[in-house]
Chain A
Amino acid sequence: MRLSKRKLMEVALSIRKRHFQNLLDEARQLRREVTAARRSRRRRAHLIQLARHYSLSYVLKKLKPEAMTLQPGNGGLPYITYDHRIMRSHLAMLKAQCREIHAEWKRIKAESVKPIAANLKTLLEETELVKESPLEVHWIVDNVEFDNVWIGDIEVTMNLEKFSVHAFNKSVDTDEKNGYQHPHVASDGHICWNGYDSDAQSYHMAGDFLAVKDMIDNLLRTYNPRSPYISLEDWENGTSTSCNECGERYSDDDLAYSERYGEYLCPNCRWLCEMCDDYVSEYDYDSDMNACKRCVEMESDICALCLERFWRRDLNSVEMLVVGKMETVPCCETCKEDYESRQESESNEKEENELEPERNDHADAESLLAPAVVLSTDTQ
């Protein structure tokens, strides 16, 4: 796709017009800020005057530091606050910005559209036109490499009508890099400019696209180890993490983090504790209880009768004689039932035994007491 000479001139003129418009908008915004700053200063001066008139020493004391003022509060009571717009330096800075914009306005008015057209012409020679509406170009920043780590070819797309730049990696599978296109490019293609975007935007607005292109190229060829989306080590090895048990590297999706033990565990080295719902290593897992050892220790107990381990929530208790003393001991449901039924039958038996003599008086005593009366003739 190519732009005709006529179209190129039209675009250059529209860029110039847009530049004027942006300067006008900026100047208007600055004028509003200057008015607001002046209003704040006047308001504070009036408040100080009133405080002096009514001898409000407390208010005067609070308003004395620079840029302190009163604001109406929610309940109708005013509160003292800091307002940077009151600062003389703030007003001076706004005025300086106004002067700068005015000077820029005068400068670009005196200039012809030719430099913008020349800039555009060279840009279109160095890049490829993608779209005419909005006007968009793309180019490749090829063979990006940092410290022998190959990043790949980066395709940059720049909208010439509004400041919008995207960069995508054309060489590597960025899924392995958590989607990052470059150490300084997010997964959606946005470049992190680290504050350089204000300059780039100003150049873009003025139609200095070649300077913007140079900035993008240089940024993509510079690695900032202090603040990358993804470090070079991770770029090279992938964003995988080692399993703390076996040491094998896995993608973050495959690893589970054990909150309680503070380690990453792969699917082969982790067990889920049914009690705390956390993953643990084999060493910390009790396979009989299907839980981590810590939960087993804290939440379980031994049944005093069958000596098997149960969760405390499933255990009951029984009163029983332990070393000659009645004590409450934990026991499982089955053991409790057995114990209680045994106790009941023992008690019934005992009761029956106690009733035996009485019954002897009335029942067939002969048959019951028969062995007792078998006496030897000698004794008789």
Chain B
Amino acid sequence: MAGNVTITYLNRNGGGFAERHTVPQGTTIKQFLAGREIDADNYTIRIVRGAQGGFTPTADEVLQEGDRLSCVPLKIEGAR
């Protein structure tokens, strides 16, 4: 689709499957997460991008075709 990019988003919705999202070209991480009510301060955010590998993006990082975005909560309570 022209003007759009498709990314994979690991959202921890219980099923563990990754979701595909098509977003307008130029969408930043901040914009993407704001739409999902995710506060970046409370998550470990990573992008895995083709040849570049995995990295922690800045809020202004623009999403690219084929990105795999994962948001893992900082507080994960274990048990016994």
CB-CB < 8 A to B80: which residues of A?
Answer: 184, 186, 192, 227-229
How many Å lie between the Cα of A122 and that of B76 in the bound state?
Answer: 23
A277 at the interface (CB under 8 A from B): no
- Are B77 and A215 touching (Cβ within 8 A)? no
Residue of B16, B20, B78 near A199 (CB, 8 A) is B16
Interface string of A200-236 (1 = CB under 8 A from B): 1111001010110011011111101011110000000
- Are A217 and B50 touching (Cβ within 8 A)? no
B36 at the interface (CB under 8 A from A): no
Taking each of B10, B44, B48, B68, which has the highest tally of chain A beta carbons within 10 Å of its own beta carbon? B48
Taking each of B10, B16, B55, which has the highest tally of chain A beta carbons within 10 Å of its own beta carbon? B16
B74 at the interface (CB under 8 A from A): yes
CB-CB < 8 A to A151: which residues of B?
Answer: none
How many Å lie between the Cα of A198 and that of B66 in the bound state?
Answer: 25
- Are B66 and A115 touching (Cβ within 8 A)? yes
CB-CB < 8 A to A200: which residues of B?
Answer: 16
A59 at the interface (CB under 8 A from B): no
A299 at the interface (CB under 8 A from B): no
Chain B residue at minimal CB-CB distance from A107: B20
How many Å lie between the Cα of A200 and that of B15 in the bound state?
Answer: 10
A125 at the interface (CB under 8 A from B): yes
How many Å lie between the Cα of A217 and that of B74 in the bound state?
Answer: 9
Given contacts A192-B78, A211-B72, A218-B74, contact A118 B15 (CB under 8 A): no
Main secondary structure of the interface of A (DSSP, over half): helix
- Are B16 and A202 touching (Cβ within 8 A)? yes
How many Å lie between the Cα of A114 and that of B53 in the bound state?
Answer: 9
Chain A residue at minimal CB-CB distance from B70: A211
Interface string of B11-33 (1 = CB under 8 A from A): 01011111010000000000000
- Are A215 and B76 touching (Cβ within 8 A)? yes
Taking each of A118, A211, A219, A224, which has the highest tally of chain B beta carbons within 10 Å of its own beta carbon? A211
Q: How large is the interface on A (under 10, 10 to 19, 20 to 34, 35 or more residues)?
A: 35 or more
Residue of B18, B48, B73, B79 near A227 (CB, 8 A) is B79
How many Å lie between the Cα of A201 and that of B68 in the bound state?
Answer: 17
Chain B residue at minimal CB-CB distance from A182: B78
CB-CB < 8 A to B73: which residues of A?
Answer: 218
- Are B72 and A214 touching (Cβ within 8 A)? yes
Interface string of B25-65 (1 = CB under 8 A from A): 00000000000000000001010111111110000000000
Chain A residue at minimal CB-CB distance from B19: A107
B residues near A (Cβ < 8 Å) are 8, 10, 12, 14-18, 20, 44, 46, 48-55, 66, 68, 70, 72-80
Question: Would you list 29 pairs from A and B whose C-beta atoms are within 8 A, ordered by A residue?
Answer: A104-B17, A104-B18, A107-B20, A115-B68, A118-B48, A118-B50, A118-B54, A119-B48, A119-B68, A186-B80, A192-B78, A198-B14, A199-B12, A199-B14, A208-B18, A208-B70, A211-B70, A214-B46, A214-B72, A217-B44, A218-B72, A218-B74, A219-B76, A219-B77, A221-B74, A222-B74, A222-B75, A224-B77, A228-B80
